Amino acid sequence: MSQVIGYEKVGDIAVLSANNPPVNALGAEVRQGLLAGIERAEADGVQAVLIYGEGRTYFAGADIREFGKPPQDPWLPALCDRIEASPLMVVSSLHGTALGGGLEVALSCHYRIATPLTKVGLPEVNLGIIPGAGGTQRLPRVAGVEAALEMITTGRHVQASEALQMGVLDKVQDGDPREIGLAFVRDLLETGAPRRPVCEMAKPTPIDFDATYDAVLKKGRGQLSPAIAVRAVQASCEAHDFAAGQARERELFTELMASDQRKGLIHAFFAERAVSKLPELQGINPRELHQIGVVGGGTMGAGIATSALLAGLTVVLLEMSVDAAKAAKDRIAANLAGAVKRGKLSPDAQEEILENRITLSTDYDGLSGVDLVIEAVFEDMEIKKQVFAKLDATCKSGAVLATNTSYLDLNEIAASTGRPSDVIGLHFFSPAHVMKLLEIVVADHTAPEVIATGFALGKRLGKVSVRAGVCDGFIGNRILNAYRTCADHMVLDGASPFQIDAALTRFGFAMGPFAVSDLAGLDIGWAARKRKRATGLDPRARESFYADKLCEAGHFGQKTGKGYYVYEPGNRSRKPNPEIMPLIEAERAAKGISPREFTDEEIVRRYMIAMVNEAAKVVGEGIARRPLDVDITLLYGYGFPRYWGGPLKWADLQGLSDVVDDIRRWSGEDPYYWQPAPLLEKLATEGRCFDDLNKAS
Ligand code: 3HC
Ligand code: NAI
């Protein structure tokens, strides 16, 4: 008897119930249990079989942990074919999420019923593969090519009501999956409904697959699986029969299964789930949060307040003056209006939030009752210390005192209060109500309960939270500074900002570093450079000054219409600013640099290795707990292409000794900048990779 698939005879119906928590993934034992259940039913004199899942869901897909390991019988495609070929009528009753292989099992059944909250989908492309158990052949036969392509190439989860309209489900009914399933099967038997194998349905009508392939490839910014899925669906129309279409699907599936993109995407899937699992928080309860305070309602404060309001919290916002507070509320109202426009909030809820859940204040007494306060005032240590001293004097005992600082020393901020154990960094990314990343910065004296509260808040706000230690820029901005410097060096040596941006967007980044600077505002980098120069830079560090000249002329990027690029009002496209190259050439001449050619490959490799090297320092110093914490930070905060899994997964895929060899070679030209991080060197020497550290943690 299978441990994970129950067998029960209810009159004329054999009931197979899956019990493989948490998500009834279709691992080898589940597949064996289903096969055995079908065979037993066929020998048991019943007329039909009902398959459903116990617990929170029907099958949520193949067991991803088995990917890359030797396959175990029965294969999922063979199991699906076997279910479909059964002489008994086979019906599935769905609830929760029927995804990937789960939906493929359901599609191999002859009928499907689901509860109203069920979601179905074929999200395999998000894992770098395509459906591999007949999904690309059965779904187009059931729902038509266009609907199937949309579902398969986006991986979208489709609500039961829509799936019913598409023909993916035959019935939607509220109730217990077992009970509604049994009633449905009895109905089908009583009305003499025939077995209905999808493989026997007519081939679907073809569309212009070449045009669709090109469009999907372009949209994927280098991600292959959605475009390859188009070719698999094409086979459902063009292969001479169902089996030939399936063979084509298998061929494409196998190719992708061996790809680096599959490895990167699966790494990302598990890393984003592992990132908030911290041994130090085992058994620690977070403090309760009802009311949040925000100090400073500029770009970030307004975004943070919006995020908290959208999550159902109540907010008190403190600003310097009544006018500044009103301006902050206007920013929040505009953010909420955007949420309404995107369908994330109803107009009624928007009104309710603005009327009842936000209080403006110019007086610290207004913050006396909040459970947690997030400071988002100007990035200036003296101002932040003054704010924290006032928070210390007014906030109730047990309130968490958080700062959104991007770079400043959290220990120094905490020391300006009499309760450093309550102080933490909550570093949001702009726009704070949209960006998913939250760096949770832990200072020397931060209490575990306060860290747990930070993670609980992150979860409530729908963020992906990463633990970081204290250093200049924490995980993300510290690494950003290092690879941004590498880009500046390449510009001095002969590459143009436009070539660098183009090479990196081709690699898969959402934007190149110079377009990003224009978006963030060139004044921010300018202020940081001035601050660093004032503290005295190491004389060995190579500096560039041409960007300062842009700023001195009042060009701060998108917000002023000109930066590295020129932006026309009302037009989102950008053109290279013709003033840039003369500024760069003048600086090269003044420094006596003879510019050289860079290939796109070299640009990408140097930029990526600069990122990896700093990331290895960040892990080696314990600023990030594990390599995966860096990977998730870059994926969710810095537009890193998800299909590479993050910079340290990318490095593993390149081979760490090759990475170290490149750094050693480049150190000949700039020994100050290019020195291998000790951790990187150690792993390369030992023949290990970053993922070994993830697995050991
Ligand atoms: N295989 C193995 N483990 C899985 C899994 C899967 N398919 N899906 C989820 N899990 C694990 C998670 O890693 C997590 O483990 P943990 O508790 O140890 O961290 C646990 O199940 C719970 O998952 P979540 O935290 O994600 O729970 P949620 O309730 O937030 O989400 C879900 C549930 C929507 C099902 C989500 O887990 C999900 O999207 N899973 C992946 C679904 C998927 O991609 N299926 C297709 C797989 S590929 C395939 O089927 C190939 C086929 O075509 C041949
Ligand atoms: P901003 O200049 O847009 O807003 C700062 C706000 O703080 C202003 O509205 C100002 O009136 C208010 N303020 C200043 N001193 C105050 C005081 N003593 N009491 C009450 N209010 C006060 O700045 P922004 O961009 O919102 O940045 C705020 C903080 O967030 C900074 O520490 C910054 O480093 C950090 N940050 C900024 C990001 C960004 O992309 N802009 C991203 C992540 C963090």
Reported as a single tens digit per residue, the pLDDT across 88-114 is 999 999 999 999 999 999 999 999 999
Residue nearest to atom 44 of ligand 2 (CA): 406
pLDDT at 573 over 90: no
Ligand 1 pocket list (CB less than 6 A): 22-23, 25, 60-65, 76, 97, 99-101, 104, 123-124, 127, 131-133, 135, 273
In the chain, CATH 3.90.226.10 covers: 5-122+133-148+155-201
Binned at pLDDT 50, 70 and 90, residue 532 comes out as confident
Ligand 1 atom nearest 57 alpha carbon: 35
**pLDDT given at position 564:** 97
Measure Cα distances from 456 to 21, 281, 308, 438, 640 in Å: 24, 11, 12, 12, 26
Residue 607 confidence (pLDDT): 98
Q: In this structure, which residue's CA is closest to atom 20 in ligand 2?
A: 319
Angle, vertex CA 439, rays to CA 434 and CA 441, nearest 5: 150
Query: What residue has token string 């395999």?
Result: 124
- Tokens standing for 243? 């089996």
Interatomic CA distance for residues 57 and 113, integer angstroms: 14
Q: Was domain 476-696 assigned CATH 3.40.50.200?
A: no
Q: How far is the CA of 126 from the centre of ligand 1 (A)?
A: 12
Given ligand 2 and candidates 306, 307, 320, which is best to mutate, with the most ligand atoms within 8 Å of its CB?
320
- Closest CA to ligand 2's atom 39: 430
Q: Which atom of ligand 1 is nearest to the CA of 130?
A: 53
Helices (H) and strands (E) in the chain, counts: 29, 19
Identify the residue whose C-alpha is closest to ligand 1 atom 44.
123
pLDDT at residue 165, rounded to an integer: 98
CB 70 within 8 A of CB 62: no
275-293 pLDDT tens trace: 999 999 999 999 999 999 9
Average pLDDT over all residues of the chain: 96
Query: What residues contact 651, with CB distance under 8 A and at least 6 apart?
Result: 608, 609, 612, 659, 680, 689, 690
Mean pLDDT, range 544-568, rounded to an integer: 94
Task: Determine the average pLDDT of the residues in 425-439.
Answer: 97
Cα(447) to centroid of ligand 1, in Å? 32
CA of 427 to the centre of ligand 2 (A): 12
Across the beta sheet with 119-121, the strand order is 97-99, 119-121, 158-159
**What stretch of H or E contains 159?**
strand 158-159
Contact by Cβ (8 Å): 624, 630: yes
Superfamily holding 289-468: NAD(P)-binding Rossmann-like Domain (3.40.50.720)
Query: What CA–CA distances, in Å, run from 47 to 33, 105, 184, 200, 435?
Result: 19, 19, 14, 20, 53
Helix (H, G, I), strand (E, B) or coil at 219: helix
Ligand nearest to the Cα of 324, by number: 2
CA distance 256 to 643: 12
Catalytic residue annotation:
104, 124
With beta carbons less than 8 A apart as the criterion, state whether 20 and 30 touch: yes
The pTM (predicted TM-score) of the whole model is 0.95
pLDDT in tens, 113-167: 999 999 999 999 999 999 999 999 999 999 999 999 999 999 999 999 999 999 9
The minimum-distance atom of ligand 2 relative to the CA of 520 is 40
501 C-alpha to ligand 1 centroid (Å): 35
Count CA within 13 A, CB hemisphere, residue 678.
5
Distance of CA 414 to the CA centre of its chain: 31
Confidence of residue 571 (pLDDT cuts 50, 70, 90): confident
Residue 633 has pLDDT above 70, yes or no: yes
Residues whose CB falls within 8 Å of the CB of residue 535, separated by 6 or more in sequence, listed in order: none
Q: Tell how far the Cα of 97 is from the centroid of ligand 1, in angstroms.
A: 10
List the one residue out of 379, 493, 489 whose CA is nearest residue 425.
379
Residue range(s) occupied by CATH 1.10.1040.50 in the chain? 476-696
Residue 615 confidence (pLDDT): 98
How far away, in angstroms, is 23 Cα from ligand 1 center?
6
Structure tokens at 152: 């398969």
Region 596-619 average pLDDT? 98
Residue 1 has pLDDT above 70, yes or no: no
Q: Is 61 left (phi over 0), alpha (psi -120 to 50) or beta?
A: left
CA dihedral 655, 656, 661, 662 (to 10 degrees): 80
CA-nearest of 100, 148, 92, 94 to 117 is: 94
The number of the ligand nearest the C-alpha atom of 385 reads 2
Task: Kindly report the CATH number that applies to the domain delimited by 5-122+133-148+155-201.
Answer: 3.90.226.10
Which of 361, 364, 440, 369 has its CA nearest to residue 404?
A: 440
651 Cα: distance to centroid of ligand 1 (angstroms): 26
Cis-peptide into 206, omega within 30 deg: no
Please give the structure tokens belonging to residue 278: 């911290």
270-274, 380-384, 524-528: segment of lowest average pLDDT: 524-528
Q: Are strands 48-53 and 13-18 parallel, antiparallel or unpaired?
A: parallel
- Report the Cα 178 to chain-centroid distance in Å: 35
CA of 61 to the centre of ligand 1 (A): 7
**Amino acid identity of 364?**
Y
Closest CA to 414 of 424, 426, 406: 424
**Contact indicator for 639, 429 with CB cutoff of 8 Å:** no
Going by alpha carbons, the residue nearest to atom 52 of ligand 1 is 101
Candidate from 64, 104, 107 with most ligand 1 atoms within 8 A of CB, to mutate: 64
- Ligand closest to the CA atom of residue 128: 1
Q: Which two tokens stand for residue 663?
A: 């750094």
Q: With 0-12 CB in 10 A as exposed, 13-18 as middle and 19+ as buried, what is 238?
A: middle
DSSP class of residue 557?
A: B
Atom number, ligand 1, closest to the C-alpha of residue 135: 53
**Which atom number of ligand 2 is nearest to the Cα of residue 383?**
18
Answer for the pair 211, 112: CB distance below 8 angstroms, yes or no. no
List residues bridging with 171 in a β-sheet.
113
User: CB neighbours of 50 closer than 8 A, spacing ≥ 6?
Assistant: 13, 14, 15, 16, 91, 92, 93, 178, 181, 182, 185
Say what the alpha-carbon torsion angle 632, 455, 97, 132 is, to the nearest 10 degrees: 20
Mean pLDDT for 216-223 is 93
Beta bridge partners of 126: none
pLDDT tens digits along 257-267:
999 999 999 99
Tens of pLDDT, residues 2-43:
899 999 999 999 999 999 999 999 999 999 999 999 999 999
**Residue range 454-469, pLDDT digits in tens:** 999 999 999 999 999 9
**440 to each of 141, 288, 423, 427, how far by Cα in Å?**
48, 18, 11, 6
Residue 536 has pLDDT above 90, yes or no: no
**pLDDT, position 528:** 83
- How far is residue 292's CA from residue 367's CA, in Å, rounded to a whole number? 9
CA distance 570 to 566: 12
**What size, in residues, is the chain?**
697
Which pLDDT score, from 0 to 100, does residue 4 have? Answer: 97
Burial class of residue 686 (count of CB atoms within 10 Å of its CB; 0-12, 13-18, 19+) = exposed
Ligand nearest to C-alpha 297: 2
> Has residue 483 got a pLDDT over 90?
yes
Cβ contacts of 562-571, under 8 Å, gap ≥ 24: 563/517, 563/518, 563/522, 564/497, 564/498, 564/501, 564/514, 564/515, 564/517, 564/518, 565/514, 565/515, 565/518, 567/518
Q: Considering the chain, what percentage of its residues have pLDDT values greater than 90?
A: 94
Ligand 1 atom nearest the C-alpha of 63 is 1
Q: At what angle do helices 580-591 and 476-493 cross, to 10 degrees?
A: 80
Ligand 2 pocket, Cβ-based, cut-off 6 angstroms: 295-301, 318-320, 324, 376-379, 383, 387, 404-406, 428-430
CATH 3.40.50.720 spans which residues of the chain? 289-468
Among the residue ranges 237-241, 256-260, 570-574, the one predicted with the least confidence is: 570-574
